Structures are given as C-alpha cells and as structure tokens.
A and B are shown apart, each in its own frame.
Chain A
Amino acid sequence: MTNPLMHQRYFEDVTVGEELPSVAYPLTVYRMVMAAGATRDFNSIHHNTEYAQSTGAKEMYANTSFLLGTWERCVRDWIGPAGTIRSIRGFRMRAFNYVGDTVRVSATVTGTRVEDEVGVVELTIRSENSSGVSVGPGTVEVTLPRRGEEQE
C-alpha cells in the first residue's frame, strides 16, 4: 500500500530551517538479518554477535547500505515522488549502530536555490543512537518540482 502521507512537496513550500519528520529504526536481530539479505551485505559483523565481537565490536551492527537507505527513506518521505536526489555527501559513520538500539534519522533544510530553473534544496542530515550522532552529519541535495511547471 502506498504511503497515504506521502504527498508532493513543491519548491515554493520549503523554508530554510524547516525540519523534516524524523524516522526511527529499532535495530532488532530480525531487522538486521532482513537487511543483510536485502542488501546482499552478508558480512558476519552485521548478523552474528560472536563474530562481531571477535572483530573488536561490542555487538553486531547495522550495515552501510541499510544505513544509507534510512537516509533515503527519510528524504523521500519528505520530497515526494516527483523529487529527485542529486547527491549524498558526508555519510560518515562515527559510531557503530548496534543491535538492541534505535537509530533515528533527522534532517533540516539548510539551503534553497534555483539552478537552471530547477528548484534545488540542500538538507543537512544525521543519524543518532543512544550514544549520540552515529552517522553524519552529511548533506543531501535534492530537487523539487516548482509550482506551475506542470502547466508549462
């Protein structure tokens, strides 16, 4: 079922400083095993506590593709289907996102501009868990449709 809350956001609706709805992802073993299969990242550090501990970690921890996906979902929920993602920068993992914790993705509008008649929005985005910021802060550059474009 398509997300009924997902509606199309337009460039003209955006204000600098605006916060995107944050998204929380509880990290259970079940979810992390699903993520390993879905992303094809079967490195045992992401689904095997004993193995992860043998590599120096406290527990198994979320994989890179899954964490990238958490950023994309947070952004897509906000930009709507007609938005596009141009780039992700500063996706830097600062702390492991361990099983048994919750990682929450939050983002803020930090810039807007019109570039070649395209509405461009810069978002500053981060992931946080119980130890603080675990990924980022980075930036995601997106485009949004401009009102009246569809009549042109």
Chain B
Amino acid sequence: MSGGMQTEDWKAEWQPVVDAVGRDFSDGETVFGADPVERGAIRRYLEPLEFDCALHTDPAVARAAGFADVTMPYTGVLTWTIPPLWQPGEVLFDSDDRNAQPVRSPINNQDMPLGPKTTGFFGTDIDIDFIRPVVAGERIGRRGRRLVSCVPKETSVGRGAFLTWESDVVTETGEVVARIRIGTYAYVPKNKTEASDD
C-alpha cells in the first residue's frame, strides 16, 4: 500500500516528461515504414478482419476508381509506418526464456529519453485525419513526434502516464497523406495479485 509521500515520488519521476510537453522528439527525422505498401501485405492486413473491398484487392477495380493500383486500407497508416523490427547485423533475440522480449522494439516506450523506465505499454486513443488514400507502391512514414500531453496516473494495471503524440504521415516525396494524434499509456505493472480487471 502506498503512502502519500510515495505517491508524490512516483509522479515526480514523470515531471521531466510533463515539462517537455510541446517538444518534437523526432529531431526532424521522418521514420519510414519497413516496406512500401504492397498488394500481398494489404491482403494479409484484410485477412483477420475478413475485410472484403475490391479497392484493396483488385487492381482493375482500383484503376477504374482512378488509382494507380490497389489502395491501402485507411487504417493501415499505423502498420505501414512501423520501421523494421530487425536490421542485418543486429541480434534481436538474446534469451530463450519463454516470454523474453526482443532486444528492441519500435512498439513500446523504449526510445523515450525522459522519465521513468517502463515495461508496460498500450495504445489508448487515436484521432486520424485522412488527406488521401495511399496506393500500393508508395512508402509512408511518420514525420514529427510532438508530445501533446503527459498525465501521470495510477490505473488498475500499474503506475505510469498517459502520453499523447502528434505526427504527420508522409510519402517519400514529403506529401502529407494523414495526420495522427495517438495516445498511449506507459507504465510499471503492478504485481499480478494487485491488478484488477477494471
């Protein structure tokens, strides 16, 4: 059980992040997805959704609709901006523990240079404005990574902070095709026995 002073201590660890609200953590770099948008990857994206739309699967239909090739589902802006999980020469798996995590992952809070170290991480909310559909053959990335808010909070799964980030989704020519505001919760998990379902 936590006392008041301990509560202040853990929240204080987040103060450098709170103070950084408004900062662009990207240093001007655009982080591109591992691969261009491809027909096969689009098909695989559709499969677990049982998502049947010919714009995404039939080049002839897509061309008749005015596109050069099949289009990426709009919500693919997250998937197709994930950078490579592994690069030649890197070691990604260095443990045979059943639940060991890769040495690095683009989907967590590892690259956050400020604040406490966290191991729990999940998305909480998203707003997206779509400027135009992305077509197979294009490669997209996220330009900018501006911290919009940081709210330390204890939840049923642990202590951490709700972080909101803003980015533009751009093509290799720099054209903006979408704008994303994404919320995440980065946290230190409670002991399993302390966690609840709510």
Residues of chain A whose beta carbon lies under 8 Å from any beta carbon of chain B = 1-3, 6, 25, 31-32, 34-35, 37-45, 48, 50-51, 53-58, 63-66, 68-73, 76-77, 81-82, 84-93
Contacts and interface: CB of A to CB of B under 8 A. Distances in A.
Contacts of B65: 81-82
5 contacts: A25-B49, A69-B49, A72-B74, A87-B127, A93-B124
Nearest to B42: A38
B54 A66 contact: no
Interface residues of B, number: 54
Given A66-B48, A86-B129, A88-B74, 4 more contacts: A55-B189, A63-B123, A85-B130, A88-B127
Contacts of B108: 43
Contacts of B79: 38-41, 65
Identify the 3 closest CB pairs spanning chains A and B, nearest first: A56-B157, A64-B123, A3-B52
Most chain-B CB neighbours within 10 Å: which of A3, A35, A39, A71?
Answer: A39
Contacts of B189: 54-56
B90 to A, nearest CB: 16
Contacts of B75: 65, 68-69, 71-72, 88
A44 B99 CA distance: 8
Nearest to B122: A45
A55 B120 contact: yes
A142 B119 CA distance: 38
B49 A93 contact: no
A58 B183 CA distance: 22
Contact of B192 (A1, A54, A90): A54
Interface string B61-82: 1000100000001111011001
A29 to B, nearest CB: 12
Contacts of A51: 99
Interface string B18-49: 00000000000000001000000000111111
